[in-house]
Structure 1
Amino acid sequence: MPTLTILAGPNGAGKSYFSSFFIQTGWIATMPVNIDALESRVDPSLLPSDPMRYEYCLKKEVNKLFNELCHEAIQSKRDFSFECNLRKDQLSIVRDFEKDDYQINLIYLLLGDLEISKQRVQIRINEGGHVVGEKSIIGNFREGLENLDSSVSDGHYHHVYLVDNSKDIKNKGDVLTLQLEMEQSNVIQVSDTFIANYKDLLPAICRQIEQKI
């Protein structure tokens, strides 16, 4: 059975940075598609000079390229993965993989709070990375957690890994810490502090865990 693996998390969570690591661990079978990076593949001649329409048309062309990549994988029954913030508009394509009997897996990189997300984005901008507006950062953080909480508690994924990446990479010790692993809604392992740390951010998941352990 082919797999679709979603590598998700808020802005600054380290999705692109750690993608190779997750391939090495075997959690992901193929390099995730970075939807933002597809902007560089859009033909400039397809975009209007009008700044009011430019962003809309760019997003439309990026979505078109992304959908083409997804359907190429589906047609050939290949494993596929992509990065996202777990917003609903990024997940509509998942239904197409489900229809073709893909196993849907999720890796979600958690950040302890919104301020960490903002700080990480600013550091990336200072180092020459792409700009993300504060409104988008806030929306991605909140909607991503809401969709994570509802979809995992509903048993939407075959395999789930929730990994915390709040720790400063400059500090000693492990940066990534596995907080929760589930398979077909069964808890494989959960950190001792998960419920205490995430009961406000992920209430439905925490209730489900309390019922199972």
Structure 2
Amino acid sequence: MENFVKIQVPVTISYPALESVLQKQLVGEYIPKPSEDADANPYAQILDVGLAGSSAGAGDIILKVRIRVLRTILKRDNVDLYVQATPGYDNDRQQVYIRRFNMQAQTSSRFYNSSLEVLVNKVAYNQIIQKARVNLSEIIAGELTKANGMLEAGMDLKGLKLTGAVEEVRVQDITPKSNRLFLNLELQAKVEVDVFDLSELLPA
């Protein structure tokens, strides 16, 4: 007889691992991205991206984006933007994304900071925030392979042996920690249950 069971699998991902993916996606990008249909010069170019846990609030991360401002009025060599962000997870796309954010610039000029924040929030949202998605399909596939390997060989539980295959994997919870991102995966498996020791199932 086949039954559906749910297996909880905790997974942690270090911020440097996520950071390396974001750097590949964002570093070198111009804001706004040059278009063949537009003659306007970009406002800025992304030079570097960093990621860390946030001490400001539970469930938040800090995304640091270093840019070079190219327009004459606000022109500077390097400016650091700090994005306090709340991550979410898209199960359909298997991607971590930024659900809510607050972006700030940090320079010695309050006027410059305000002007740059208005500019970035207006112009750069789609390129920085929308593109700051990390695909976890390889990690999910790895956990799926491990779980199916265990079920194929047979998982021994208390008086039971489960055999079968995982049919669906979903992220139930995502929690940023100080040095890594914690994911709680739920694996739904279709299994056959072989009871080999009834005494183990009886109450003590």
For the superposition of Structure 1 and Structure 2, which TM-score range results when normalised by the shorter chain? under 0.3
Indicate the structure with greater strand content: 2
TM, length-normalised to structure 2: 0.22
TM-score by length of 1: 0.21
Q: Greater share of helix residues, 1 or 2?
A: 1
Q: Point out the structure with max Rg over C-alpha.
A: 2
